[in-house]
Amino acid sequence: MFTEFSVPAPIVFGCGAISVLGERAKGLGCKKVLLICEKGIEDAGIVEKAKKSLDEAGVGYVVYNGVLADPPDSCVDEAAALAKEQNADGIVGIGGGSSLDTAKATSILFTNPGPVRQYIQGPPIFVDTKAPLILVPTTAGTGSESTTVAVISLPDLNVKWSVFVNVSLALIDPELMFSVPKSITATTGMDAFAHAAEGMTTILANPHSDLFAAAAIEKITKYLPVCCDEPDNAEARSAMALAANWGGLCINNPIVHVGHAIADALSCNFHTAHGQNCALALPAAMAVIAPAVPERISVIAKAMGLPLTGKETGEELGKIVADGIRELMRKVGIKSLKEMGFEREKVLSFAPEVTANHLSTLGPVKIDEATATKLLAEVYDDYQ
C-alpha cells in the first residue's frame, strides 16, 4: 500500500512578502497579469500593494474585482473574458479562498475553450493548465494557495463542485491579514482547523499530511483566539497564516470528509460562510469517526492540549475532541445555527445532500442517510 503527498508549488512566506510579487510574476514570464479579487479586498487597500509591486517590476495588470463568495461559474467566465480582451498572459489571485479558487478555475480558460462549467460538472477532473498562476491568500483559512483544487458553485444546481489545476507559486504575507474582521478571522481559522482534523482522518491520509495536520491544530488552538482579540499581532497572524497553509498542504492529497459534506450542504442552502459551516459540522464529524480511528483522534486531542488518561475508548475520545472544538468555537465567537435563525427541521432535511456528496465516502465510516440525519441533529442540538 503506497501513500502520496505532493506540494503543488513553491511557497514564499513572511511579513512583507507581497513586495516580491512583481519580480516573481516577471520570473514566470508574465508581461501582463489578470489580478483576480473581490471588492472587499480592494477596499482594504490590499490590491494597491500588489499593483505597487507589479509596477516596480514593470509587469502590467488588469483587475477583475467581481469575485463573489462561494464563487459561481459565471465569475470565472467573466474573468476569463476580461483576460482575453486585455491579452493577459498570467494570473494573480489575491484574497480569500473565493478569489483564489476563481483564479484557479480561470486559468483553465487561458488555454481551453469556455464556458468553465464543462470542466466542473461531473466527477472531479485534472486540467493541465499552462498559464502562470500566483496565489496570494488574505485570510488564514482555506490554504487554497497550496492545493490544486478549485471549488466552484453551480448555483442553478445548488452544488459546489471541484476541478484540479496547476499552481505556479503560493505567496503568503501575514500582514495582508491584519485587516480581516474578527468574525471572518474566527470562521476562516476554524476552516483551517477542519482541514487538519478531517485531512488526517480520511481514508487517503498519509504520514506526510499527518505531520502538517498535528502542527496546524496545535498552532490554531493557541493562536486563533489571539488573532481574534489582537488583529495586528504579527506573531499570531504569522502563526495562523502558516497553520492555514499547512492545513491546505494536509488536504491536498487526502482531501476531507463528512464534515465538509455537511458544510457544503449548509453553504448551498443557507449561504453562510464556508468556515462557519465547517466549524459547526466538525465536532459531530469527529465524534462519529472516533471509534473507527481512535489513535488519530487522540493525536488531535494531544495537539489541542486536551488531557487524556490513555485509557479512553474511541467513543470517549470522540466526545473529548468534539467538546474541545466546541469550546474553541465559543472562545472565538462562532455563531450557532439556532442563533442565526435557522430551523432544525430544515437542517435535518439536508441528509440526502450530505450522503450524495462524494466527500462523505472519504471518511473511515459509511455515511448513510440515517447517520447523516443524526449528524445534522447533533450539529444543531449540541452547539446552541
Element of type H or E holding 152:
strand 149-154
Whichever of 244 and 290 has its CB closer to ligand NAD, that residue is 244
Q: Is 171 helix (H, G, I), strand (E, B) or coil?
A: strand
* Alpha-carbon separation of residue 109 from 89, 102, 144, 207, 381 (angstroms): 12, 11, 19, 35, 44
Residues lying near ligand NAD in the complex (CB under 6 A) are found at: 38, 40-41, 44, 46, 69-70, 95-99, 101, 138-139, 141-144, 147, 149-151, 160, 176-177, 179-180, 184, 188, 191, 248, 274-275
Least distance to ligand NAD, CB of residue 120, Å: 13
Cell, residue 276: 462557519
Beta bridge partners of 12: 171
Looking only at Cα atoms, what is the longest distance across the chain? Answer: 64
**Nearest partner of 265 among 351, 163, 325, 337, judged by Cα:** 351
What type of residue is 341? Answer: G
CB 154 within 8 A of CB 120: yes
> For residue 306, what are the contacts with CB-CB under 8 A and spacing of at least 6?
320, 321, 324
Q: Evaluate whether 64 touches 35 at the Cβ level (below 8 Å).
A: yes
Query: CA 260, CA 347: separation in Å to the nearest integer?
Result: 15
CA distance 198 to 259: 7
Q: Beta-strand (E) ranges in the chain?
A: 11-13, 32-36, 60-64, 90-95, 133-137, 149-154, 159-164, 169-172
C-alpha cell belonging to residue 267: 453553504
The DSSP line for 252-270 is HTT---HHHHHHHHHHHHH
Smallest gap, in angstroms, from Cβ of residue 147 to ligand NAD?
4
Cβ proximity of 47 and 103 under 8 Å: no
Following CA atoms 191, 194, 195, 199 in sequence, which dihedral angle do they give, to the nearest 10 degrees? -170
Least separation in angstroms between CB 35 and ligand NAD:
15
- 3-state class of 6 per DSSP? coil
- For residue 342, give the C-alpha cell: 435557522
